[in-house]
Structures are given as structure tokens and as C-alpha cells.
Structure 1
Amino acid sequence: MPRQARRSLPSFNPLDPVVLDDPYPTYADMRQRGRLCRVGPAAWGVTRHADVASLVRDPRLGSQFPEEYHRASAGDGPAGDFFGKIILYRDPPSHTRLRKLIGKAFSPALVRSLRPDIAGLVDELLAPAREQGHFDAVTDLAFPLPVMVVCRLMGISPDERDEIRPRAVDLGKAFAAIVPDDARAEADAAVVWLRSYLSELLEQRRRSPGDDLLSRMLAAEDGGRTLSHEEIVDNAVFAFFAGFETTMNLIATGCAALLRFPDQMARLRADRGLTATAVEEFLRFDAPIQGTARLVHEPIDIDGHTLRAGRVVVLLLGSANHDEAVFADPDRLDIGRSPNPHLSFGGGAHLCMGAALARVEGEVVFNRLLDLFSEVEAAGPARRREKTTFRAYESVPVAVATA
């Protein structure tokens, strides 16, 4: 590759304070300059929707990284070891086997059956706001709800949620691109605790199965193949991240977006049939996960550059979701946007397995919010969570009133 071509690529730093505050102007500039950027040594970023949509399905890219990659990211402890075991970082044929078996347990019917329970949990969490006239969309709703739902999914007693939630938070720290030194011990401790807790719970389900996800994973069978104890435990641990961090941020960013665009709040209140498309638009407008990394297995040519085997490619989902070539007026929230081919759940073999559950939670939350309150408006400035590459909020104050 010509040396000048390498120098011409823009550099992208996801931890730049400007990017953390609002990445979309930076994405727009990079898309205008080309289809690729540099995100670090031997690492490329892909900026445009057409390329990202194609590459999430391209078998020349994989998600199974060498052990050294996870150790460099999360350290030499249990968290680094854990990454090598979960479905997120496995390639075919092991990924195919795991996905098929877990998919038999985590069925669409199971997700649909949770809708009434989720509505009850949302009502429980918002009950104090009916008396007080205010709540925080993060601390009072988006933060507690996903763990409550995952616990319900796994048949875990409500009495144990408060003990599990801080471990789920610490587990999320392990999924940073580079885990800060001061967070590695917390992430390692969370993995150890959750593995031990779920291993014991799995043994209980083995003796007395129920209709929860762990029991279903034990019973899952395909052509004589089943999941091992360790595979169930580690992928159940992963569920506490996948079912917590992403959904928490979907709810928080969705609330923040509606407060920022009150015309869209009024539109949703007037037409509840838009709830499902509104959730899709929240996912597009401010994707909870802004990028996903892949390992190049075979050389790929993009925009006159060759991405060689062994290089890392970051598919910039947040940039793809604001590509002007696909989305009209992409920086405007449009809860009725259709079609909406956002890429927030990835695609292909690694399409997020929890997408259906996140959508159901989002739909229930925003429907119940408008059912319970005749007025919903900002009670102060929303505050972003610092030092994270997720699109996350620390606080979203909301003022409410009932009819």
C-alpha cells in the first residue's frame, strides 16, 4: 500500500472527550473523507453503512480473537479467560453449535411470555414517581430494570437482585476496549462471583428443573449434542452483561431522546402504534454499542486499502447508523422512520441473541411511561457517564404528572 495512502486516513479515538460527548460530527467528517479510518496500530475502522452492513456478514472476518488479545484488553485474570469461553467471541463451528443450542433455550416464545412480567416491574419501579412527581430515568428505571428481567428469566429470587446487580455492573467494565487497571480487579471478582453463583444455581436446576432459561439450557439438545456445565455457566454470566448494559442504555438514551424532542414525545403519545418503530429509532439515533471488533482472517480490499489477515477491524455501528446515504436527515429523531436498517444489533451469524428481549423491554417501558403519566418532561440537564465507550447516561432527570 502506498505510504501516502496510509497517512491520508483520518484517525479515530473513541476515548477522545469530544467523541465521548457527541461522536456524530466526528463520524460525519470521517464518512465524508472516506470509508476507512485508523483506530490504532494494525486496527482499522469502517465508517459507512454499506460496508458495515456487508462486513457484519462477511465470513472473512471473525470474532474469535487470540488469547493474547483478551489478556491485553482485560488482563491475565478470570475476565480475560472468560472472554474465550462465551458465544460472543467464538467462530464456527463452535459458535454455530452454541448458537443453535442456546437459541433452542432462549426462544421467541420465552421472550414474549415475559411481557406481562416486565410491565409489572416497570410499574413497580415507577410507583414512587406517581407520588413524588419526578424520577431519574437511569437510577430509578433503566439501571434496575434489566437485572430484574434477567433474574426473572433465570428464575432467580427477587430477594437476590440487589446482590447480583453490582456484580453485573462490574462485569460490564470487562467489556471496554481496554479495561483500566483500576477496574480489572473488580471485573475479575465479578466473573468469579457470578460463575460460582450460577454454577450452584445450575446444579439446583439439574436436580429440580423448571421453565427458566437455565433449565432450558440444560434440556437443549440438537442431534445428540448438548451444552456442557461450563458453557451454560459462562454464557449465563454473559447474559448479565448482554441483558443489562445494552438494555439499560437503550432505555436511558430513549428517554433522553424523547425529552430532547418533545414533538416526538407528543407524536408517540398520540399514536401508540409507533412504539415499536420508536424503539428502533432510539437504537439507531444513539446506539448503545457504537462499534464491534472483528479479526481479519482473509485479506479484504476497501477503498484502495488492503486489510491483511491478523488485523483488527472495528465496524463503527454508530457511524453507519447516521450515514446520509441511507438515512434522511440522520441527526433528527423520527420515531416513525421507515425503513430503518440500523445496525445496532450487528448482523449475520453474530446478530445479537438478546435483540428480541431488548425490543420487548423498550416497547413496554415507553408504553407504560406514557400510560402512567399525562405529562413527561425534562427536570434538569441529562448527564453522560464518563470513561466508557458505550453511549450511556449517569442521570436523566424527568418530571411527571398524572391526569
Structure 2
Amino acid sequence: MSSDLPLKFDSRAPAVLQDPYPVYRELRESGGLSRGGPGQWVVSRYDDVAPLLRDRRLSHEYPEEYHEFSTGEGPAQSFFQRILLDRDAPDHTRLRRLMAQAFSPRLLQRMHGYIERRVDELLRPALDRGTFDAVTELAFPLPVSVVCELVGIPPVDRDLVRPYAIDLAKAFALYVPEEDRAAAHRAVAWLREYIGALLRERRASLGDDLLSRMIVAEDSERPGDRLTAEEIVDNTVFLFFAGFETTTNLIATGVAALLGHPGEAARLRREPGLLPAAVEEFLRFDAPIQATARLVREPVEVCGRTVRAGRVLVLLLGSANHDERRFADPERLDVGRTPNPHLSFGGGSHHCLGAHLARIEGQAAIGWLLRHAPVLEAADEVVRRPSVTFRTFRSVPVALG
């Protein structure tokens, strides 16, 4: 197709929801810049997406009208105005610095042991049964448990929190379907109220958890740099998405990838030292978050075209990760792939704050299965969970040999 008439990318097309990668290839071959929804341009090539993730001419901050269009009216509108993900410098710099202080090496080391124990608790019963569902029995409960432990939510409340943590992810789609909006707003409102009450308890009696560390970090800063109570609450709520959705999808797609590539599973058993590289490859092969969006603040040239201010650039991380110009044989799963500069955790100042924690969880879950189950086979058909933004499953039934 002529470069004067770019392809149009419909993220909600059934073929894209089921398997976007053939469509991504068409977009890359057509020139790398495609039309999206109203006021949107879609970028699909690695060499364009990677620098745009760091381009200061692009913004994470959207007008309130954009959030109203994307999510509908409700608590999620003001929520997105406060969280780290949707702020630019200097607010983003302040929020990220204070939140990063809470992710101390000591805390992450303690979480490592907790994650290993929790994986064993979740999967040990599956050995007796011989089957389990990698989504409902592992990929969903593990990250929720980890975030609850990280934040300091009492074990007795964790089953109560879990459904709201799951529904919160619906608010983070590039466009929230009408049928998901009420649940997304309810999740934000409920989690805000719960974390707000927990914050008041922690101010009275600090613990050894992330919420307490955020309070300490706040108190150690200059008055103008401190987090407000609303910012602490909303950014803690944000962690239920940041610490849950990517890891859930990573584990689900990683297990599904091994079921579909038994040769690579056997290779990992022979060479367990490849496990960290394998997790990076799962992140590249079927990126948990397929796209991110930026608001153009001043004109920027992309693929030979000038995109005007006020337009939205949709950066296809999943397509960039399959760009044959950057990755050799990108459609092949290679658990030893190196180098592997995938973009699944974003880039620049907005690189995922919880990336290290997601890697720990992914390695713990996949490593346990490879050590304890001599054979991994599909017990039934896998079922995708259709999503415009995410790649994951409703069900991945596994037979343990």
C-alpha cells in the first residue's frame, strides 16, 4: 500500500484480539506508521517505538476529557490524574523517587523468600491431582498475594481485596469497553477507601511494608517534595495494577508458550541456568502489555510523517518485540535468546518500577514447574481472554507428568 495511504489498525478487530502478530507484520511492512482511532497514529517498528518511549516531546499527562472518553465518568478520572504512570516531570520525578525509596533491596530480598514459599503452597496440591489451571491457580493468585504482602495487607483481608485488584486492570485499557467501566470505577473507589483506612493505621504504627516505607520516605523529603495523602493512596492502589497485571500475563503466557514448545521446555530442564533468559523471552514473545500511548505535545516526525501536537501515538510494544529488523527469527521461541532488548517493560523514565519483582515471580513460578513436574502437557484447550491492551488467558489447563 502507498505510504500516502497508511493502513488503519483496529485494535478491537477479532483477528487482532486472537492473534495480533500477523497484523503487526503487515503494519511494519506497510511503513511502520498506521492510522488508529480518532486522533491516533499507531507506531509498529522497533527502531521507532524504542526512541519514542524516551522522547520528551511526548507526554503521559492527558486532559481530563481524554480520561472521560476512555473510562467514562467516575473515580478513575481523578485517579489517573495522580498516579505515577500518567504524570510528567517534575511530578513524575518526585513521585518515582519517593516510591523507588520504598522498593528497598532489603524489602525485595524478603519478598523473594515469600514468593518461593507462596509458589510452593499454590502448586504443591497440583502434584497430587496431576492437573491444574495455570491462570486461576497460579497466575492470578500469586501476584495478588505478593502485592498484598508488599503493601502490608493483612492475610485475613486478601481474598476480599483480590476481585477488586483484578477489576482495577480494566481501567488501564487504552479504551475501556462500556461493559467494563462500572467494575473499573468500583474497583478504584473500593481500593481507595481500603488503602486510605490502612494508611491511617500505618501512620499510627509503622510496619515493615511498602506503605510504611512510603510514609517514611514522605517524611524524609522537603515539604514541597512530599507525597500528599491522596497521592500515597492512589499510587498504592496503582501498585495493584503494576504488580499484578504484567506478572499475571507473564506467567500465563509463559506456561502456555512452554506447552506449545515442548522442545524449549526440555531445553530448560537440561539447562536450568537459562531460566532468567527464558523469562525475558516469554516477555518478548507474547508481551503482557501490548501497547502504550503518548500524547504529542509538539510536532514529531515518525516514519517520514509529521505528527501534529494534540494527536495520540499508540506505541505497539508487542509489534516492536517481533520486528525482524531487530530480532532474528522473531516468531520462534528461543529460551536462550541473547541479546534480548525487548520493550515489554517500556523505557525511559517510565520504565516499569516493578520490573524486577515481576521477573522474580516469573522465574519462581516457571522454575518450580520445571523442577517438580517431569512433563508439562496441555490438559485441554487454552482459552484466551480477549483484550485490546493485554495478552493473557482465561484458562491454561496443564497436565503434570
TM-score by length of 2: 0.97
Structure-2 residue corresponding to 1:226: 226
Structure-2 residue corresponding to 1:276: 276
Distance 1:177 1:7 in 2: 26
Distance 1:167 1:258 in 2: 30
Question: Contact 1:249 / 1:392 at 8 angstroms: preserved in 2?
Answer: yes
1:159-170 maps to which residues of 2 (within 5 A)?
159-170=156-167
Distance 2:156 2:74 in 1: 30
Instruction: Give the superposition deviation at 1:27.
Output: 0.6
In the TM superposition, what whole-angstrom CA distance separates every residue of 1:281-307 from its partner, at most 9, and x where no partner exists? 000000011110001111111222111
Structure-1 residue corresponding to 2:11: 14
- SS, match of residue 267 in structure 1: helix
Structure 1 unaligned blocks of 5 or more: none
Structure-2 residue corresponding to 1:26: 23
Aligned residues: 398
Structure-1 residue corresponding to 2:383: 383
1:48 aligns to 2:63 (yes or no)? no
Question: Contact 2:174 / 2:292 at 8 angstroms: preserved in 1?
Answer: no
Instruction: Give the superposition deviation at 1:42.
Output: 1.4
1:86 aligns to 2:83 (yes or no)? yes
Structure-2 residue corresponding to 1:306: 306
Moved more, 179-188 or 304-313: 179-188
Instruction: Give the superposition deviation at 1:52.
Output: 0.7
Structure-2 residue corresponding to 1:158: 155
Instruction: Give the superposition deviation at 1:386.
Output: 2.6
1:146 aligns to 2:127 (yes or no)? no
Please, which of 98, 107, 114 is the counterpart of residue 110 of structure 1?
Answer: 107
Structure-2 residue corresponding to 1:352: 352
Question: Contact 2:11 / 2:388 at 8 angstroms: preserved in 1?
Answer: no
Question: Contact 2:135 / 2:252 at 8 angstroms: preserved in 1?
Answer: yes
Instruction: Give the superposition deviation at 1:166.
Output: 0.5
Structure-2 residue corresponding to 1:367: 367
- SS, match of residue 336 in structure 1: coil
Question: Contact 2:290 / 2:389 at 8 angstroms: preserved in 1?
Answer: yes
Distance 1:262 1:222 in 2: 52
Distance 1:108 1:25 in 2: 41
Question: Contact 1:195 / 1:237 at 8 angstroms: preserved in 2?
Answer: yes
Distance 1:388 1:295 in 2: 19
Aligned-partner residue type, residue 146 of structure 2? V
Distance 2:381 2:74 in 1: 39
Distance 1:352 1:263 in 2: 31
Distance 2:108 2:294 in 1: 28
Structure-2 residue corresponding to 1:200: 197
Distance 2:198 2:271 in 1: 43
Distance 2:304 2:343 in 1: 24
Structure-1 residue corresponding to 2:63: 66
Question: Contact 1:63 / 1:88 at 8 angstroms: preserved in 2?
Answer: yes
Instruction: Give the superposition deviation at 1:207.
Output: 0.7
- SS, match of residue 8 in structure 1: coil
Question: Contact 1:105 / 1:213 at 8 angstroms: preserved in 2?
Answer: yes
- SS, match of residue 167 in structure 2: helix
Question: Contact 2:285 / 2:321 at 8 angstroms: preserved in 1?
Answer: yes
Structure-2 residue corresponding to 1:239: 239
Distance 1:112 1:277 in 2: 20
Instruction: Give the superposition deviation at 1:388.
Output: 4.5
Distance 1:172 1:88 in 2: 13
1:212 aligns to 2:209 (yes or no)? yes
- SS, match of residue 310 in structure 1: coil
Instruction: Give the superposition deviation at 1:80.
Output: 1.6
Runs of 4+, deviation exceeding 6 Å: none
Structure-1 residue corresponding to 2:54: 57
Aligned-partner residue type, residue 108 of structure 2? V
Distance 2:101 2:111 in 1: 17
- SS, match of residue 84 in structure 1: helix
Structure 2 unaligned blocks of 5 or more: none
Instruction: Give the superposition deviation at 1:51.
Output: 0.8
- SS, match of residue 114 in structure 1: helix
Distance 2:270 2:152 in 1: 37
Structure-2 residue corresponding to 1:98: 95
Distance 1:389 1:247 in 2: 15
Question: Contact 1:15 / 1:389 at 8 angstroms: preserved in 2?
Answer: no
Structure-1 residue corresponding to 2:338: 338
Moved more, 178-187 or 231-240: 178-187
Moved more, 219-228 or 109-118: 219-228
Structure-1 residue corresponding to 2:326: 326
Distance 2:84 2:195 in 1: 17
Moved more, 35-44 or 316-325: 35-44
Structure-1 residue corresponding to 2:255: 255
Aligned-partner residue type, residue 84 of structure 2? I
In the TM superposition, what whole-angstrom CA distance separates every residue of 1:293-345 from its partner, at most 9, and x where no partner exists? 00111111122211111110011100000000110000000011000010000
Instruction: Give the superposition deviation at 1:110.
Output: 2.1
